[in-house]
Amino acid sequence: MLLPDRNHAIVHLDAFVEDYLIPLPICHVKGFLSGRLYAELSGTYHIMSSSGYVSEMVFSGQDFRGRGERNSVHATIYRRDNLAKEPIYTVGGRLNDKFTIFFMAAATVAARVTWLRSTTRTTLTTCRRWFECCRSRSRIRES
């Protein structure tokens, strides 16, 4: 991983010969009044891929009155050359609990991911399978 700028990181995946330009998100520390501190991401971010895909991620959370859901994320993945930004995949849920990956073309759920606190092996396996599934579907569609 390279950090050429203070606001972005470049991640290279040797297995797929791809580069990703990832903005470093804004992280807020909340919970001072309750005495239970927690970190929360906020804002809209775009992850650019050298393969021509863009992921637009919107992070949101609770306001100071406790309204909203902690660590919420909504993301869409689309081709960079698609001016209408028609999503190929959408992701919705909570970063620290569960989220769902939805394959838009087939109108089906591609994966449901639940983060396990006791072990990360299952989570990494689930994400790896989802990533391989995305790669195989995109190759079929592009050829």
98-121 pLDDT, tens digit each:
888 888 877 777 777 776 655 444
Residues 142 and 27: their CA atoms lie apart, in Å, by 37
To the question of pTM greater than 0.75 for the whole model, the response is no
Q: With pLDDT > 90 as the criterion, what percentage of the chain qualifies?
A: 16
* Tokens 């791809």, residue located: 18
Q: Could you give the number of structural domains in the chain?
A: 1
**What are the backbone dihedrals phi and psi of residue 62, each rounded to the nearest 5 degrees, phi first?**
-80, 145
